[in-house]
Structure 1
Amino acid sequence: MPRPKVFVIFYSTYGHVHTLSKSIKEGLEKTGLVDVEVYQFPETLSENFLQKMYAPPKPDIPIITVDKLAEADGFLFGFPSCFVSAPAQVKAFFDSTGSLWSKGALSGKPAGMFFSATSQHGGQETTAFSFLPNLAHHGMLFVPALSRTDQVVGGSLWGSGTVAGSDGARLPTEYDLAAAAAQGEGFANVVSKLAA
């Protein structure tokens, strides 16, 4: 029997969420229970605008398409908090998934989130909470992350995360990355049980 397939799909302007996605993938693969594919959400900003924002080049990772989305058995979505919500790139992509919604193509599939924000109270939990309607309308099952309370971290039960700082200079800590790997590992266990 083939292993269930998990897609890690992220949007990252300055690389913080991309860095977390690597640890998420590591945690998923550590279990040996799922196959993992990593994708980026399509960019909606022009290259000229991104250069003016001093955004680094995008990593060499495939862009997710609506049709491809239906192939996965589970999803971990990553994105920065943008005014306590998912960024426009993520919203635009989900706005284009009506064909999947009309067929119920994502119904019953587990999904989780990971994210970054500029500060400790920069909207990470609200960002996750405001993204839940996308999952609910598709009939997807939200899988929370493991809770770690022994240190200050960027994430929560809503998902692993990092605090980027107001200028984006603060990188994910080893603790943030360990929490992301633990989220991936826990998510793989859930997906494999649901697939069985």
Structure 2
Amino acid sequence: MPKVLVLYYSSYGHIEQMAEAVAEGARGAGAEVDIKRVPETAPQAVVEAAHFKTNSPHPVIEGPDALKAYDAIIVGAPTRFGRMASQMAAFWDTAGGLWATGALHGKVAGAFTSTATQHGGQETTLFSIITNLLHFGLTIVGLDYGHAGQMDISEIVGGAPYGATTVAGGDGSRQPSAKDLDGARYQGRRIAEVAAKLTA
């Protein structure tokens, strides 16, 4: 049974919902799953002024060394101008020791994100996460077209071959749709399945 970590940062709860769906999919494939979040790095005044969601059922990760305990790491962060949010980037910036020792080589990983609009940088944000993960030697699993929901054009849908996504709306009022959450579950399951094969 592979051990899977869903590691996320969420300002308004959209990525938190996606993280829970990713974890659900991984558990459905028989994995042991933890959900953790990275620390908030924005000043408290900014957090309050922007009305960030500050209550979460998931603990803050203890630090980069905690990543060594997992067979798969699935990373979720919202976009900030076409790249991953600085809170997630800051966490990986502290993980140089893991990079230097190759501690994460061969583990499985994936990425998921949220943007305000359909063209607000979903794919570039996924690439920014994936680029970091590749530097740490992780094996990437995306969201293949077995999740056919990402090809639907009858409504706004998230999803890209590079990872599960959702569209939050400029004011954050749009919540992840059933198709978006299905994509997250699908990707979580696929990553857990690949991790199980590699750890068998």
TM-score interval (norm. to shorter): over 0.9
Tell me what 1:195 maps to: 199
Q: 1:120 touches 1:163 (CA, 8 Å); kept in 2?
A: yes
Give the letter for the 2:57 counterpart.
D
Tell me what 1:170 maps to: 174
Could you list the runs of 5+ residues in structure 1 that have no partner in the other structure? none
In 2, the alpha carbon distance for the partners of 1:136 and 1:160 equals 18
Tell me what 2:39 maps to: 42
Give the letter for the 1:158 counterpart.
Y
Verify: 1:130 aligned to 2:128, yes or no.
yes
Give the C-alpha shift of residue 41 in structure 1.
1.0
Verify: 1:181 aligned to 2:190, yes or no.
no
Tell me what 2:50 maps to: 53
Verify: 1:71 aligned to 2:69, yes or no.
yes
Superposed CA RMSD in Å reads 1.2
1:158 to 152, 158, 162: 162
Q: Please give the per-residue CA displacement for 1:165-187, whole angstroms capped at 9, x wherever unaligned.
A: 01111100111111111111111
DSSP 3-state at the match of 2:80 = coil
In 1, the alpha carbon distance for the partners of 2:177 and 2:187 equals 15
DSSP 3-state at the match of 2:81 = coil
DSSP 3-state at the match of 1:108 = coil
Give the C-alpha shift of residue 107 in structure 1.
0.7
In 1, the alpha carbon distance for the partners of 2:182 and 2:65 equals 32
Q: Please give the per-residue CA displacement for 1:106-161, whole angstroms capped at 9, x wherever unaligned.
A: 01111001110000111010111122321122111111113231344211111111
Q: After the TM superposition, which residues 84-95 of structure 1 pair with which residues of structure 2 at under 5 Å, given as runs?
A: 84-95=82-93
TM-score (norm 1): 0.94
In 2, the alpha carbon distance for the partners of 1:139 and 1:130 equals 15
In 2, the alpha carbon distance for the partners of 1:113 and 1:136 equals 11
TM-score (norm 2): 0.92
Q: 2:111 touches 2:130 (CA, 8 Å); kept in 1?
A: no
Could you list the runs of 5+ residues in structure 2 that have no partner in the other structure? none
Give the C-alpha shift of residue 59 in structure 1.
0.3
Identity of aligned residues (%): 40
User: Which consecutive segments of 4 or more residues in structure 1 shift more than 6 A?
Assistant: none
Q: Please give the per-residue CA displacement for 1:63-99, whole angstroms capped at 9, x wherever unaligned.
A: 1111111111111100101110011111111110011
Q: How many residues align?
A: 193
DSSP 3-state at the match of 2:113 = strand
Give the letter for the 2:135 counterpart.
H
